Amino acid sequence: MQFGHLPVALSIATYDWSPETAVFCIAMHWLPNVDSLMVKRGLDRPAIRGSIRLERLLKGKNPAAAIPDEELRDPFWVEFGGFHCTVTHSLSFALLVGAVIALFSPHYALLGAIAVAAHFAADIGSTVGLPLLWPLTRKKYSLRLFKDTGWWGKEMFIGYYKQPMSWVLEGGVTIFFVYRLLEIYR
């Protein structure tokens, strides 16, 4: 999903409708895609190393041991744009975001975690797949509703919107958002 992320985020905001909540839900909904900016800036290698260390720690292995280059080239980390659609597209990431927000605003913690998780619901239709249960497993889940057309640039948008399912999904979330607005302003 591309532009459809906006009505998804705004639909969540309608359950506590205010300009502040709308901006917050949009920011939280797009937060998982910060990983693509990390890749563009060349910051994904340190994030991959840290993620591997966390996986090792959870498996009872020494997290401080050297990470061989072949482990950094594991397909989990380098397919489909590298670090993009890995750690930040897991339920543990959504829970972590909610927990951090709860330190500052318990009121917004649930909205933040739901907005992040809704991003996964919007992306899981792609053939890329999402590691929802990372760091427990690297298995990627996908509904395979539309073909992945990249993660950055004009070709991504053109390829995505050539697929009929993209219009069905994005039309559906837009209709739901309009329905929520009608419910609010009735």
* pLDDT tens digits in sequence order for the chain, 186 residues long: 788 999 999 999 999 999 999 999 999 999 999 988 888 888 888 899 999 999 999 999 999 999 998 888 888 998 866 788 899 999 999 999 999 999 999 989 999 999 999 999 999 999 989 999 999 999 999 999 998 887 677 888 888 889 999 999 999 999 999 999 999 998
Taking residue 138's Cβ as centre, other Cβ atoms within 10 Å add up to 15
Per-residue pLDDT, 156 = 85
Per-residue pLDDT, 152 = 72
Four-point Cα dihedral 29, 141, 63, 50, nearest 10: -30
141 forms bridges with which residues in the sheet?
Answer: 130
Per-residue pLDDT, 81 = 65
Q: Which amino acid is at 67?
A: I
Using an 8 Å Cβ cutoff, are 149 and 81 in contact? no
Per-residue pLDDT, 73 = 85
Containing H/E element for 57?
helix 44-58
Q: Which domain holds residue 40?
A: 5-184
Radius of gyration for the alpha carbons in the chain, expressed in angstroms and rounded: 18
Per-residue pLDDT, 121 = 95
Both structure tokens of 48? 């991959």
Four-point Cα dihedral 117, 13, 127, 96, nearest 10: -20
Domain tally, the chain: 1
pTM reported for the whole predicted model: 0.90
